Amino acid sequence: MKTYFIKTFGCQMNVYDSHRIAGILEQRGLQATSRIEDADLVIFNTCHIREKAAEKLFSDLGRANLVKQARLLEGKNTIIGVVGCVVQAEDEQVFKRSDAVDFALGPLTYHRLGQVLDELEKDSGIQVIDTEFPAESKFDFLSENKAEGVCSYIAIQEGCNNFCTYCVVPYTRGIETSRPVEDVLREARKLVSDGALELNLLGQNVNSYHGEDKAGKERNLAYLLRKIGELDGLKRLRYTTSYPADVDDDLIKCHKDMKILMPYLHLPVQSGSDKILRAMNRRHTKAQYLDVIDRLREANPQIGFASDFIVGFPGESDDDFQATLDLVDEVKFITAFSFKYSPRPGTPAAEYPNQLPEKVKKERLAILQEKLFAYQTDFNQQTVGKTIEVLFENKGRHAGQLTGRTPWMQNIYAEANGEYLNKIVDVKVESATMNSLSGKIVRM
């Protein structure tokens, strides 16, 4: 095997996992290719959160199988692997759905990829699956992480104990585990020495982080943020995703004290109706959510909030939906992800009797998104005329252009030569749309 191709579905955690998988493969001497036709090894890193994401995998596998057959005619072998949450949820069904699949690994066992590839090299006729919830942590077996660029991610926590009634995560990523403080710090130091200026701490539920320090004492997210915030050379720090009921005073204080902590917070609320929040098994009411927002705003009035919403949850009435719209008006989220409720096999809500018709879900999503998009556009337009610090991460589509992010995660592009790439630069915003800003560099 010489080349590999990875396609990643789903969340930022999957993007991180794919990066770590690429690290394993590169250590074995494989090289990345962006063309599936050229790949000796094809890996799909999958998402099971909504039906649409999971179904997409199976159409991609169909196409990958055609490529595999075509390559076979040229005398080239192709190994196809499926990793991630669909594997954990569907287990051996993955093989039944597509016989092109040679191996399948869950999100907690991909550190065993090397062994699996060794087995397949010995005997290409077999199919290997590993969906164990292992006692060991995969992080202890992965080699050092390499920075993806100036903005890098670190998984600090994985899994979830909240069991929201719609969600597959506790079943696919398992119960909550936190990486030890020292492991996270080691990875953070390495990424910063590789050139990362911004670190984003990742997990399904990062603010319930409870990793052990050297002395075996459990530490919270605020402690970890402060430690990482002290690293020489690091300019920006973020964390995602947080659970509203687990935002503690210590964390709120970080937003007051730590300049390095960016004024942007992704805090999923899902619904504005207490009745629906209860049916979702969320551990917060609308009022408690708003209280957390108030306290964070008091700590740092600059914070912009992002959220996730589900519309059309079983039993959601017009009034319940209206309560969600009202909440949006109260908070004025600067960006948001909104979804139609998708019943997932094995989750309690999928069995609830009062499922809503697709038509209602679709209508409500359109109404909600219109409101969310208007607030997002407003927020972006308010930045016009202001000078904002931008971290330029990439070359733009046109020559002489760079793209980057503002502290609020807005995409921004500016006419700028390569010397500004990978730097934080003052940019005066000149125009804004819903999805991006454009501006001019302010000469320093």
Among 116, 167, 228, 247, binds ligand 5AD (CB under 6 A): 167
Q: Minimum Å distance from CB 180 to ligand SF4?
A: 22
The residue with tokens 């749309």 is 433
- Long-range (24+ apart) CB contacts under 8 A made by 401-410 are 405/151, 406/437, 407/236, 407/262, 407/263, 407/264, 407/302, 408/262, 408/263, 408/264, 408/304, 408/334, 408/379, 409/262, 409/264, 409/306, 409/335, 410/380, 410/383, 410/436, 410/437
Per CB under 6 A, 174 contacts ligand SF4: no
Per CB under 6 A, 167 contacts ligand SF4: yes
Cα 365 to Cα 371: distance, rounded to the nearest angstrom = 10
Cα 246 to Cα 174: distance, rounded to the nearest angstrom = 19
Classify the phi-psi angles of 91: left when phi > 0, otherwise alpha if psi is within -120 to 50, otherwise beta: left
Q: Minimum Å distance from CB 433 to ligand 5AD?
A: 25
344 binds, among ligand SF4, ligand 5AD, none (CB under 5 to 8 A by kind): ligand 5AD
Q: Which is nearer to ligand SF4, 45 or 307 (CB)?
A: 307
Per CB under 6 A, contacts with ligand SF4 among 183-212 are 204-205
Per CB under 6 A, 264 contacts ligand 5AD: no
Where b means 16+ CB within 10 Å and e means fewer, 390-399 reads: bbbbbebeee
Per CB under 6 A, 364 contacts ligand 5AD: no
Per CB under 6 A, 157 contacts ligand SF4: no
83 binds, among ligand 5AD, ligand SF4, none (CB under 5 to 8 A by kind): none
Measured CA distances, 368 to 109, 164, 306, 441 (Å): 38, 21, 14, 35
80 binds, among ligand 5AD, ligand SF4, none (CB under 5 to 8 A by kind): none
> Which residues make beta-bridge pairs with 200?
153, 238
Cα 231 to Cα 210: distance, rounded to the nearest angstrom = 21
Report the half-sphere exposure of 370 (CA within 13 A, side-chain side). 5
Per CB under 6 A, 12 contacts ligand SF4: no
Q: Give the range of 32-40, 167-175, 187-195, 348-356 binding ligand SF4 by CB under 6 A.
A: 167-175
Cα 362 to Cα 367: distance, rounded to the nearest angstrom = 9
Q: Which is nearer to ligand 5AD, 226 or 344 (CB)?
A: 344
Q: Give the range of 121-129, 159-167, 344-352, 396-404 binding ligand SF4 by CB under 6 A.
A: 159-167
Classify the phi-psi angles of 281: left when phi > 0, otherwise alpha if psi is within -120 to 50, otherwise beta: left
Per CB under 6 A, 243 contacts ligand SF4: yes
243 binds, among ligand SF4, ligand 5AD, none (CB under 5 to 8 A by kind): ligand SF4
Per CB under 6 A, 153 contacts ligand 5AD: no
Per CB under 6 A, 46 contacts ligand SF4: no
Per CB under 6 A, 169 contacts ligand SF4: yes
Cα 75 to Cα 159: distance, rounded to the nearest angstrom = 42
Cα 5 to Cα 32: distance, rounded to the nearest angstrom = 6
341 binds, among ligand 5AD, ligand SF4, none (CB under 5 to 8 A by kind): ligand 5AD
Measured CA distances, 180 to 169, 214, 256, 352 (Å): 22, 8, 25, 39
Reduced to 3 states (helix: H, G, I; strand: E, B; else coil), residue 332 is coil
Per CB under 6 A, 308 contacts ligand 5AD: yes
162 binds, among ligand 5AD, ligand SF4, none (CB under 5 to 8 A by kind): ligand SF4
Q: Minimum Å distance from CB 179 to ligand SF4?
A: 17
Reduced to 3 states (helix: H, G, I; strand: E, B; else coil), residue 417 is coil
310 binds, among ligand 5AD, ligand SF4, none (CB under 5 to 8 A by kind): ligand 5AD
Per CB under 6 A, 170 contacts ligand SF4: yes
Per CB under 6 A, contacts with ligand 5AD among 6-65 are 49-50
Which residue is at the shortest CB distance from ligand 5AD? 308
Per CB under 6 A, contacts with ligand SF4 among 78-107 are none
Q: Minimum Å distance from CB 170 to ligand SF4?
A: 5
In the shown chain, the binding pattern of residues 333 to 362 toward ligand 5AD, with x for contact by CB under 6 A and - for none, equals ------x-xx-x------------------
Q: Which is nearer to ligand 5AD, 157 or 383 (CB)?
A: 157
Parallel, antiparallel, or unpaired: how do β-strands 41-46 and 3-8 relate?
Answer: parallel
Per CB under 6 A, 155 contacts ligand SF4: no
DSSP characters over 186-249: HHHHHHHHTT-SEEEEE-TTGGG---B-TTS-B--HHHHHHHHHT-TT--EEEEE---GGG--H
The site for ligand SF4 (CB under 6 A) is made up of: 160, 162-164, 167, 169-170, 204-205, 243
The site for ligand 5AD (CB under 6 A) is made up of: 49-50, 166-167, 268, 270, 308, 310, 339, 341-342, 344
